[in-house]
Amino acid sequence: MTEKVGEKAFDLISELRNLAFHFLTPSRYNHAMKCVEFGLKLAEIHKIDKQKVEISCLAHDLFRDFPPNILLKLASRYGIVINDYELVNPVLLHGKVAAKYLERRYQLRDEKLLLAVAYHTSGHKDFDEVGKILFLADSLEESRDYESVQELRKLAMEDLKEGLLKTLANKICYAIQRSYLLLPETIEMWNELIKRERFGFFEPDMLQNNKKR
């Protein structure tokens, strides 16, 4: 399947729904369907490709309920470089394994969609709009229930950029308050969002040019 998801998308979506039903526990399946529902709502509001959003939402947790030893074996088989965080906590591999599964089983070549699936847990500084929506849908779908979730949902529907920044900040604060590890990709994503928020979008060579003046 080429970068433009296109004509085969409906078949892929149907198959991913079937896989989700068989691979996931009932509660995880409910989460996946709620994720699709909220993701499509955001895609409609912000005019983002609905097929890509639905594929990413359906695929993101396909391997979440697999045992740690199976995730490690699949990661090794797919040629995924396993970092120290993933070695200690193999469940962190479920997104990368799902992305590789999409790439190999369905010849999906959309790099940004694969990136969205691979890093939906940590976030990634190079997310496109589909990645941002998946990250938000995973955190804010209707079965999620925590103190600020309604406010964050409303914000995400009104302003994707601001909703993403506040949702990521909430996740980071939650981790810090409980002395959880922060993954490097999460920190990089935060720094990238703040950089763009304060200074606007710029290319690295623009900084070099400014220094020469």
User: What's the pLDDT tens digit per position in 137-166?
Assistant: 999 999 999 999 999 999 999 999 999 999
pTM: 0.90
CA 18 to CA 204: how far, in whole Å? 44
Buried b or exposed e, range 42-76, using 16+ CB within 10 angstroms:
bbeebebbbbbbbbbbbbbbbbbebeeeebbebbe
Q: What mean pLDDT is predicted for residues 179-199?
A: 94
User: What's the pLDDT tens digit per position in 81-140?
Assistant: 999 999 999 999 999 999 999 999 999 999 999 999 999 999 999 999 999 999 999 999
How much is the pLDDT for 212? 44
Contact yes or no for 75/29 (Cβ under 8 A):
no
State residue 64 phi and psi, 5-degree precision: -65, -30
Residue 167 has which token pair? 């949702």
Q: Say if residue 17's pLDDT is above 60.
A: yes
- The percent of residues above 90 in pLDDT, for the chain, comes to 87
**Which residue in the block uniquely carries the two structure tokens 């990089």?**
188
Residues 6+ apart with CB under 8 A from 189: 122, 123, 124, 125, 127, 168
Q: Chain-wide mean pLDDT for the chain?
A: 93
User: What's the pLDDT tens digit per position in 51-92?
Assistant: 999 999 999 999 999 999 999 999 999 999 999 999 999 999
Length of the chain, in residues: 213
Class of domain 6-200: mainly alpha
How much is the pLDDT for 197? 84
How many distinct helices (H) and strands (E) make up the chain?
12, 0
How much is the pLDDT for 10? 80
Residue 52 has which token pair? 């890509």
DSSP class of 85: H
Residue ranges covered by each domain of the chain: 6-200
